Chain A
C-alpha cells in the first residue's frame, strides 16, 4: 500500500474503533440513575413522561407552557402549588417505588417517577 493509503486506512480504522467504543452497550441516559433529575412541562405534557432516579434523588419540574400546571401525586405523596410559566417544583424521593402523578388542572397530563 502507498503511504497515503496506509495513513488513511489507519485513520479509518481508528475511527471505526472509536465508534465501536462509543456505540458499545452501556447504560443509556434514560436508564442511568442520577441524583438530580429534570422534567420539562411543555405543550401540556411531562417530558420525559417516565423518569427513573435513585433513592434520595431530587426531581425538579419546570413549566415551559404559557398556562399554569400542577404536579400532584395520585397517592397523595406530593402536591405542588400551581406553577406558572418558568416556575419550578422539586421533590426529593426518599423511598423506592413507582410514583404516578398528574396535573390536577389538566388531568390528561400524566407522568411517572420510578425510584430504585
Chain B
C-alpha cells in the first residue's frame, strides 16, 4: 500500500512541477497527508514527498539534513491541563530519539520554564541530556524572562548572543537566526523585537546571497495571528522586509501551543505544538491559556516538528508529529494554511 501511495504521490508531483500549483491541486496533495508526508516550500511552490525518502542515515552526507523544533515545555507547570509536563517532554525526546535519522540539532522556541525558576531550567537540561541530538539552540519565551528580565536565561543559554539573546549561525549552507521578541514588552502591545535587534538583523543579512535559505526562529509568532490575545509581533514587518529578497525563508515560532501555518510569497510561517499543554484556537475561548482536554487526547495535541532541508530544492520541509501517533496526522490536516 505505501508503495502505491508513493507512486501516486510522485505522479501528482510531476503534475504540480509541470503545471505550476493551483490551490485545488495543493489541497488534494494535503489530503494525502499523514504523519509520513513531508510538504516543503521551494521558492513559494509547495512540493510533497514521502517522509524519510532519501533521508536514510548518512545517505546525503553534507547535503540534506534535518533538525527538530520543540517548543513551550513549560517545566514547572502542574495544573489540570497537564500535571506532569516533564513526562510529556520526555515522551517528545523519546520520539526524537526513535527517528530513523539523528537530527543535526534541536531548536527550542521558548517557554522552556513556567516561572523562570532555576530548578525548572535544571530539570529541562537534565531531560535534554538524553536527546540523540547534542546541539540545542534556544530562544526565550516570556515565561523565561520572569526573574530579572531574563538574566538567568542569558547566563544559561545566552553564550555568544547579543542584547536580550539574539544570534545567528550557519549550518550546511542554511542561515539560521534566533530572535527574541519577549523582552521589554509595552502595555497594550504584542511581541516586540526592538530597534537594536532590528538593526542587528539588517546588518546580519546584508551581503548574503539571495539563494541562501534563511530560517528565522522566535517565540511569539512573527505574523499576526490574533491580536486580541497578543498572538503577533508589533514590529515584525520590518524584520520580514529584510528577508524579502531571499529565495527561501522559513519562520519557526511557538507560543500559541498549536500548529498554524501561512505562506506568503517565498516565506513560510509555522508555529509548533507545545510539549506541555494545548491552547484554544483563536477566539474559541474567553482567553488564551492552558486548555484541558480528555486525558487520552493529551498526547495527540502535543508534539514536535521535524524539519528536513532538501538540497535539491534548497527547501525546508516541515513535518509535525503529535506525541501519540494516531495513524493519521492530526497536525497537517487540521492546520490552518493560508496563502498570502
Contacts and interface: CB of A to CB of B under 8 A. Distances in A.
Interface of A: 43-45, 65-68, 70, 74, 82, 84-85, 100-102, 104-108, 110
Nearest to B279: A67
Given A66-B80, A82-B146, A85-B79, A110 B187 contact: yes
B230 interface: yes
A101 to B, nearest CB: 8
B115 A105 contact: no
Contact of B188 (A67, A68, A85, A107): A107
B79 A66 contact: yes
B186 interface: yes
Interface in B65-95: 79-81
A105 B146 contact: yes
A65 B115 contact: no
Given A43-B287, A44-B229, A44-B289, 17 more contacts: A43-B289, A44-B288, A65-B289, A66-B290, A67-B290, A68-B115, A82-B146, A84-B115, A100-B187, A101-B187, A102-B187, A107-B186, A107-B187, A108-B189, A108-B227, A108-B229, A110-B187
B20 interface: no
A107 B287 contact: no
A105 B289 contact: no
B300 interface: no
B278 to A, nearest CB: 13
B289 A82 contact: no
A68 B77 CA distance: 10
Contacts of B287: 43-45, 65
- The prevalent SS among residues of B at the interface is loop
Interface string B135-175: 00000001101110000000000000000000000000000
B330 to A, nearest CB: 23
Contact of A68 (B114, B189, B190, B230): B114
Contacts, number: 57
Contacts of A66: 79-81, 289-290
A104 B187 CA distance: 7
A82 to B, nearest CB: 4
Contacts of B186: 107
**Chain B residues touching A, range:** 20 to 34
Interface in B218-265: 227-230
A68 B79 contact: no
B99 interface: no
Nearest to B186: A107
B286 interface: yes
Nearest to B228: A108
A74 B187 CA distance: 7
B98 interface: no
A68 B114 CA distance: 8
A74 to B, nearest CB: 5
Nearest to B114: A68
A82 B187 CA distance: 16
Closest 5 CB pairs of A and B: A102-B187, A44-B287, A43-B287, A107-B185, A108-B230
27 contacts: A43-B289, A44-B229, A44-B287, A44-B289, A65-B287, A65-B289, A66-B81, A66-B290, A67-B290, A68-B146, A82-B115, A82-B116, A84-B115, A102-B188, A105-B143, A105-B146, A105-B185, A106-B142, A106-B230, A107-B185, A107-B187, A107-B188, A107-B189, A107-B190, A107-B230, A108-B188, A108-B230
Nearest to A68: B115
Interface in B284-316: 286-290
Nearest to B292: A66
A74 B188 CA distance: 10
Contacts of B187: 74, 100-102, 107, 110
Interface string B183-224: 001111110000000000000000000000000000000000
B168 to A, nearest CB: 27
A43 B115 CA distance: 18
A12 B79 CA distance: 53
